[in-house]
Amino acid sequence: MTVDAAPDPFVVAGTELGSRLLLGTGGMTSPESLGRALVASGTVLATVALRRVDPSTRHSLVDLLEGLGIRILPNTAGCFTAAEAVLTARLAREAFATDWVKLEVIGDDRTLLPDPIELVDAAEQLVDDGFTVLPYCGDDPVVARRLEQVGCAAVMPLGSPIGSGLGIRNPHNIELIVEQAGVPVVLDAGIGTASDACLAMELGCSAVLVASAVTLAEDPELMAGAMREAVRAGRAARRAGRISRRFVAQASSSFEGLVGR
């Protein structure tokens, strides 16, 4: 049910996406439960990784996503250099016939934090090669601006490290990134539960990407639905305009006509 009927399209590189929730596909126990979570999330864009063919695998992730009408967003997860990420993106373009890529260039295998120097380098090369680049980046407003300057179609700052479920550790930086950005800001990584996704939207993000919080939840399908509602609620709250914070109370009932005075 939608109370607010005003159009509020989410557009990336000229393409309108019908959902502000992007889903990662990693970590699920079975293709069936992944399928149910994808449907419950309402997503129209899901990330996949690119890996060596395993001849023993029977199910096809591509067929699953295609069957659900969900667009594939290939990622470059696991790449540590610009060169690896560029080759992976080119393979993904060939495999899935899409020039969209979630660009990840990791700088540290314990925290999985992005390497900003390799990231900007890879982003520039891929933009020059005609890709629509959605880079996973730190919550550094300067790096986000650099990525936009080299032509990225969105920026995807982390809330906290991948898979940590620690939520948004620096909301102020996310607000700074949103405030300066001329492209959509997608909160990527660190979401632990629905309130984190809601907060991301309240801070002004255009969308949220969630993976582990859904796929590793006890009930992924139920969590996917919760995320969907959280993203909607957060977006509506952002558009509605929250009240400013006050140090002390402000009565919401008038004192006029008070009994006995």
Active site positions, annotated: 102
Residue 114 contacts another protein per CB under 8 A: no
Residue 160 contacts another protein per CB under 8 A: no
Displacement of CA 43 from its chain's centroid (Å): 11
- Rounded distance between C-alpha atoms, residue 83 and residue 214, angstroms: 31
Helix (H), strand (E), coil (C) string for 97-118: CCCEEEECCECCCCCCCECHHH
Residue 72 contacts another protein per CB under 8 A: yes
Residue 11 contacts another protein per CB under 8 A: no
The residue to which tokens 């977006």 are assigned: 235
Rounded least distance, CB 95 to another protein, Å: 4
The residue to which tokens 């930086």 are assigned: 173
**Cβ-contact 192, 227 below 8 angstroms:** no
The residue to which tokens 């295998």 are assigned: 109
Residue 129 contacts another protein per CB under 8 A: no
Rounded least distance, CB 61 to another protein, Å: 4
Rounded least distance, CB 113 to another protein, Å: 14
**Considering only residues 45, 106, 155, 189, which one is a binding residue for another protein as defined by CB under 8 A?**
189
Residue 74 contacts another protein per CB under 8 A: yes
- Rounded distance between C-alpha atoms, residue 41 and residue 163, angstroms: 18
**Considering only residues 63, 108, 128, 129, which one is a binding residue for another protein as defined by CB under 8 A?**
63
Residue 142 contacts another protein per CB under 8 A: no
End-to-end CA distance of the chain: 45
The residue to which tokens 């898979």 are assigned: 163
**Considering only residues 49, 68, 166, 237, which one is a binding residue for another protein as defined by CB under 8 A?**
49
Can you give the binding site for another protein, defined by CB under 8 A?
A: 24-28, 34, 47-53, 55, 57-58, 60-63, 72, 74-75, 77, 87, 90-96, 162-163, 189, 209, 211-212
